[in-house]
Structure 1
Amino acid sequence: MFESDRLHVESPFVRRARRANRRVRLFCFPHAGAGAGSFADWPALLPPEVELIAVQLPGREDRVGEAPFLRMEITVRTVGLALRPYLQGPCAFFGHSGGALLAFELARALRKRGMEPSHLFLSGQPAPDQPPVVPNIHGLPDEDFRAALHLLGGMSADVVNDDELMRVLLPSLRADFTLWETYRYQPQAKLSAPITALGGDADDRAPIPALEAWRDHTTGAFASHVFPGGHFYLNDVGVDLTETIGSALLRRESAHAK
Structure 2
Amino acid sequence: MTVDSAELVVETPYIWRARRPDARHRLICFPHAGAGAGAYAEWADLLPPEIELVAVQLPGRQNRIMEDPFTETGPLVRVLAQALRPILNSPVLDGSFAFFGHSCGAVMAYELARVLRGRGTAGPGHLFFSAQPAPQLFDQVPRLHDLTDEEFREEVARLGGLDPEIAEDDDVMDALLPTLRADFEMWEQHPVAPGEPLDIPITVLSGRDDPRAPGTTVEGWREHTTGPFHAEYYPGGHFYFLDAPAEVVGFLGQSLLTPSLTGRVS
TM-score of the superposition, structure 1-length normalised?
0.94
Question: Which residue identity does 1:138 align to in structure 2?
Answer: H
Is residue 223 of structure 2 the alignment partner of residue 227 of structure 1?
no
TM-score using structure 2 length: 0.91
Report the aligned-residue RMSD: 2.0
Q: Tell whether the 8 Å contact from 1:80 to 1:110 is kept in structure 2 after alignment.
A: yes
2:26 equivalent to 1:9 = no
Aligned to 1:44: 45
Q: Does the 8 Å CA contact 2:24/2:50 hold for their aligned counterparts?
A: yes
Deviation digits for residues 6-36 of structure 1 (CA, Å, limit 9, x no counterpart): 0111000100000121111110011101111
Report the count of equivalent residues. 257
Kept in 2: contact 1:160–1:166 (CA 8 A): yes
**Cα distance between partner residues in 2 of 1:169 and 1:183:** 22
Aligned mates of 2:70, 2:246 — CA distance in 1:
31
Aligned partner of residue 39 in structure 2, secondary structure: helix
Whole-angstrom distance in 2 between the partners of 1:247 and 1:2: 15
After superposition, give the CA deviation of every residue in 1:160-219 in whole Å (9 maximum; x if it has no partner). 332211221121111111111111111111111100000000001000111111111111
Whether the 8 Å CA contact 2:125–2:265 is kept in 1: the answer is no
Q: CA deviation at 1:88?
A: 1.0
Q: d(CA) in 1 for partners of 2:4 and 2:75?
A: 34
* 1:96 lines up with 2:102 in the alignment: yes
Matched residue, 1:68? 69
Correspondence for 1:112 among 96, 115, 118: 118
Q: What amino acid maps onto 1:106 in structure 2? A: L
Aligned to 2:60: 59
**Which segments of 5 or more consecutive residues in structure 1 lack a partner in the other structure?**
none
Amino acid of the structure 2 residue aligned with 1:182: Q
Name the CA distance, whole Å, in 2 between partners of 1:33 and 1:173: 4
Counterpart position of 1:144: 151
- In structure 2, C-alpha distance between the alignment counterparts of 1:249 and 1:186, rounded to whole Å: 29
User: Which of 202, 206, 214 is equivalent to 1:199?
Assistant: 206
* Amino acid across the alignment from 1:226: Y
Secondary structure, aligned partner of 2:107: helix
Does structure 2 retain, via aligned residues, the 8 Å contact 1:150–1:156? Answer: no
Paired with 1:64 and 1:87, the residues of 2 have a C-alpha distance of 26
Decide whether the 8 Å contact of 1:199 with 1:208 is kept in 2.
yes
Q: Show the 5 A alignment for 1:153-172.
A: 153-172=160-179
Q: Is the 8 A contact 2:201 2:265 kept in 1?
A: no
Show structure 2 runs of 5+ residues with no match: 87-91
Q: 1:252 — aligned with what?
A: 259
Of all paired residues, the percent bearing the same amino acid is: 50
Q: Distance in 1 between matches of 2:204 and 2:265?
A: 25
- Identify if the C-alpha distance between structure 1 residues 98 and 106 changes in structure 2 by more than 3 Å, giving closer, same or farther: same
Relative distance call for 1:257 and 1:140 in structure 2 (3 A) is closer
Choose 164-173 or 95-104, whichever is displaced more: 164-173
**Aligned AA (1:75):** L
1:145-173, CA deviations, whole angstroms, 9 ceiling, x for partnerless residues?
11111111122454233221122112111
Aligned residue in 2 for 1:213: 220
Q: Offset at 1:49?
A: 0.7
Question: Which amino acid in structure 1 is aligned with residue 40 of structure 2?
Answer: F
Q: Structure 2 vs 1, CA of residues 35 and 233 (structure 1 numbering), >3 Å: closer, same or farther?
A: same
